[in-house]
Structure 1
């Protein structure tokens, strides 16, 4: 079905890959369109959009920016023609969810990151964290790649274990980064993603699980002792 999108003056029509198709990049998310993904486009202008990007909302209330709703913009409004994503820090030159008043901008795929994920590199669910909870003088590293973490940008974090992870170090089954079309899972089951483990990391994870279990047992024992003491005092 033909579609008139606000970002383009011509009608966009459905397209399918054929054997001679060249690489096609989505004008919204700036990512390649793969053969299994439905998309619309204008052949004369070579303007193409994933169907998921075609149907992005015009306005978005995002928990990372509660002050104002974010507006979907087809091109950056800054004089230099690009923006820096407040989620990942990577520059963008196409679609964004933006608050002009605060100069707050998100890639479309960053705006749709799942609120929780589970990766093989860590036994617990990781939560999307907008404000890194460390003092300014503390340096932190990604527990997946070992690289430094810029505390201005979002991370995935296990609060109980202090496990921190770059957004881009959370891999999909295809190893291409988080799926920009994946809906948020807030309040539902976390997304399962893969990250191959080596034996050393597996052993470290098992040790962490054992330590957490010991801590839970110790807390339970302490509560039992406390109740016993209270009952003893009650009978005196």
Structure 2
């Protein structure tokens, strides 16, 4: 369900309309407040995943804190159950501790989700990827696919560069589309 304003073309998902105004998150000691930036030309960066957004964010209003969480990162809770890992994940790292994400292989100094049973580390950018997505040139949903033992070459159908399923790709097996 979508809500829209006929005067200004503002569109809002039902899920976003019912987001809590205040939220406590395990990543930060102070309560976070939902902020809405309705200026289409202003952008801010999520403290956790580094994605740029121009919509809703949870921010810390306490003095001296510069925490901005996009809605996706703020929705990650503990324990986090990641579809591509068998164990639950927890926030056990401390800020500024260098960790390498087991999926994207990027070295992060931000908080990551960690497995208590093995050495699996998951950054928030990978934790908030959807399991399925739409691609404008495919009639089916594309599914997130990982294969650490992948052999052969995969090519992105959008940018035409090599894609590596060891780090995750979106695929449609019906149409043989890879992103």
TM range (shorter): 0.5 to 0.7
Report the equivalent of 2:135.
Answer: 119
Where does the alignment leave 5 or more consecutive residues of structure 1 unmatched? 166-236
Report the equivalent of 2:167.
Answer: 153
Residue 117 of structure 1, CA deviation: 1.8
Structure with greater helix percent: 1
Report the equivalent of 1:56.
Answer: 76
Separation in 1 of the partners of 2:157 and 2:53? 31
Q: 1:158 to 1:108 in 2, by over 3 A?
A: same
The 8 Å contact of residues 132 and 155 in structure 1, kept in 2 or not, is answered as no
- CA RMSD in angstroms comes to 3.1
2:46 to 14, 26, 42: 26
Separation in 2 of the partners of 1:63 and 1:119? 21
Separation in 2 of the partners of 1:64 and 1:94? 21
Residue 89 of structure 1, CA deviation: 2.9
TM normalised by structure 2 equals 0.67
Note the alpha carbon deviations across 1:86-111, whole angstroms, 9 max, x for none: 33333322132221442212222422
Per the alignment, in what secondary structure is the counterpart of residue 58 of structure 1? coil
List 4+ stretches of structure 1 deviating above 6 A.
none
Report the equivalent of 1:71.
Answer: 90
| Pair 1:98 & 2:118 matched | no
1:131 to 143, 147, 157: 147
Report the equivalent of 1:108.
Answer: 124
The 8 Å contact of residues 29 and 95 in structure 1, kept in 2 or not, is answered as no
Q: 1:46 to 1:62 in 2, by over 3 A?
A: closer
| Pair 1:82 & 2:102 matched | no
TM normalised by structure 1 equals 0.53
Separation in 2 of the partners of 1:48 and 1:123? 36
Say how many residue pairs are matched.
Answer: 156
Q: 1:111 to 1:81 in 2, by over 3 A?
A: same
Separation in 2 of the partners of 1:118 and 1:51? 20
Per the alignment, in what secondary structure is the counterpart of residue 91 of structure 2? strand
Separation in 1 of the partners of 2:134 and 2:90? 30
Report the equivalent of 1:37.
Answer: 56
